[in-house]
Structure 1
């Protein structure tokens, strides 16, 4: 958690002077979520290929395995179908987050490639439709021209890359959202309490809601003011059948 917060704070430095938190949190959350999808896909590829996670312990090795498998005509279609069946999506190797990061580190990154990656994912799969709409890569707030915008996002990507999202315990996107809101709400001229529930309060409410109902096999939870969803998700930590929870919001 501390690592995630530290890296988010550092990445925000590249955006903080250009826009307020209500805007730059969209860039950070969008990029983190895309990195999560990319890293998760690579991990799944290793599992599908029945390879050792210890041998394929870096995204570079995992990416090469992915590229090699896709190059095999007999494997290609089955691999993509399996990824879509198990994960609900696929990502072209050239659009993987770590590939874009390598380009950023070599100063060959092109913002248009990231934009294509977002469009490709959101148009191919309905569950991602509109997900990256708030990540406006053409905004003049990122820079006065295309080159400056490219530099801004390059620096943000390089800073976000070290986060171990798959090894993060809990809801990493929710945790990132909570941190950004709690730490930077004052920058937008708002009080955090107006739209942010501190984690400690959220956790206490989840404990109260589950009290005496820990053994229920069918558990429903409703949050009429849901933001990141962390309050409802916390319920899973205090009941004995978390896989059967039904979540409801407005």
Structure 2
């Protein structure tokens, strides 16, 4: 599929969202549109797979199949291959056509049938390997919600319209070389995030920041056994890593239930097999879900300075993720707790890159002690990268990326990069945005470990120790621009010239006043 066709699909999907503006609130229509795109995807995937199994049968189209034995055989194969099952009468196009039939009648009412179909998709996986990946996946699609209509008829009309709009779009799932639908889904998630205010941080990392993190953790690698995100949101960071290297297994954890569902949908829409990903819903710091595993790459955008129960729970003091540091991250700033958790889960050959607020670089007390231990005792910090302010939706604070390794090749220095300068980003609407060349400069500078005037500096551990393990970037990267020297003699000459011109003007004005017969102001 060409770039033009890809943009057309993105435009069509976003157009559906715009049609619903004013009818449903932004947060709500996000859930319905993304949910129904996913239902359409599952239906088309089921339809194509079933048809491939029916190639040698007398009935070649799954929608026409009525033989119960063949349907049962397809069910068994589908659960093994796809991880779920849909009956012929449960396919998206069938229910969408009923809801948008030209003649209005009782047959246009589809809400109850649609609810049963979505429940059946989840129930079809019970007792199978894919059960965890589909359980309660459609719970945010509340077809009885008054948010989409005060009456049953009004709700039915809105839902039928959404399905009707989507039915006209070709997802091109038979194009096995294309990940266009997955990319379009990511595009929609980003568009919704742009208008979601502060809540956007719960589920979306800007694409260019995702690209930086993915390129950093795949440095020197074309294949990864595993990638992990402990605060995975919509899963976009995990999937971005797969664009930079071949990834075998994806792992993530997410606290917000709605966002957790979105992440699982996103994985499946990008054709990640249910056996190849494990996304769990829980508080990562309180109840980590993959502690027995060590990951080759870790990427994250944790909630900035979140509250946690570190000080209130004495068990954390003996928790092997935190115990060796001697101090716990403060209860009002969990940034270092997330960092410690990730470093604990990192394999010896792995790389982790995560976004944090700038405070992690210089705040004192417990955070200062943890930072010193990371540098002096563990020598784990590989790079500190300053990003422009106002590049994340919902917050304008400046942020940084920390890159950590357990076994560093260049173990006597840390690369500092200041990518926050005005010439290293552009302004798009109310947001600042990194360009492709800005991203590449960051990545190249990290990989080459270069000192570039007013942009980067490779600091020795001794220099960092001299700075009391303070990692504030201006201590290492001098971005000071000297003001142009002022030629005082030239300024004096200009003032003398101005004075002469003023006197000449005064003489002229006095003359004009005399001619007009009015008093002179001088």
Per the normalisation by structure 1, the TM-score is 0.80
Q: Indicate which of 243, 248, 252 corresponds to 1:244.
A: 248
Distance 1:245 1:82, change over 3 A: closer
Q: What residue in structure 2 maps to residue 231 of structure 1?
A: 237
Distance 2:231 2:122 in 1: 26
Unaligned stretches of 5+ in structure 2?
A: 1-5, 103-107, 126-130, 254-283, 285-522
Cα distance change of structure 1 residues 205 and 163 upon mapping to structure 2, 3 Å threshold: farther
Q: Quick one: which of 158, 163, 178 aligns to 1:169?
A: 178
Q: Which has the larger radius of gyration?
A: 2
In the alignment, which residue of structure 2 is the partner of 1:49? 54
Shift of 1:72: 2.8
TM-superposition CA deviations, 1:72-120 (whole Å, max 9, x none) = 3553322221122211221122211010121133152522211111111
Relative to structure 1, the CA distance from residue 102 to residue 79 in structure 2 (aligned partners, 3 Å threshold; closer, same or farther) is same
Question: 1 or 2, which has the higher helix percentage?
Answer: 1
The unaligned stretches of length 5 or more in structure 1 are 52-60
Mapping for residues 34-183 of structure 1, pairs under 5 Å: 34-50=39-55, 65-69=61-65, 71-107=66-102, 108-125=108-125, 126=131, 127-165=133-171, 166=173, 167=175, 169-170=178-179, 172-173=181-182, 175-176=184-185, 178-183=186-191
Between 194-203 and 29-38, report the one with greater CA deviation.
194-203
Q: 1:18 aligns with which of 23, 26, 31?
A: 23
Deviation at 1:184, TM superposition (A): 3.7
Offset at residue 164 of structure 1 (A): 3.0
Cα offsets for 1:203-225 (capped at 9, x unmatched): 232112111122x5x53322232
Q: Tell me, in whole angstroms, the C-alpha distance in 2 between the residues paired with 1:10 and 1:186.
A: 16
Distance 1:146 1:119 in 2: 19
Alpha-carbon distance in 2 for matches of 1:139, 1:79: 34
Task: State how far apart, in whole Å, the 2-side matches of 1:171 and 1:248 are.
Answer: 23
Secondary structure in structure 1 of the residue aligned to 2:242: helix
Name the SS of the counterpart of 1:219 in structure 2: strand
Bigger share in strand? 2
Asked if structure 1 preserves the Cα contact closer than 8 Å seen for 2:226 and 2:250, the reply is yes
Report deviation, 1:175.
Answer: 4.3
Correspondence for 1:222 among 228, 248, 253: 228
Per the alignment, do residues 193 and 115 of structure 1 end up closer, same or farther by CA in structure 2, a change over 3 Å counting? closer
Q: CA deviation at 1:243?
A: 5.0
Q: Residues 144-163 of structure 1, C-alpha deviation per residue, up to 9 Å, x if partnerless?
A: 10111111111111111233
* Cα offset, 1:196, TM superposition: 2.7
How high is the TM-score relative to the length of structure 2?
A: 0.41
Equivalent position SS for 1:159: helix
Output the CA distance in 2 between the equivalents of 1:194 and 1:86: 32
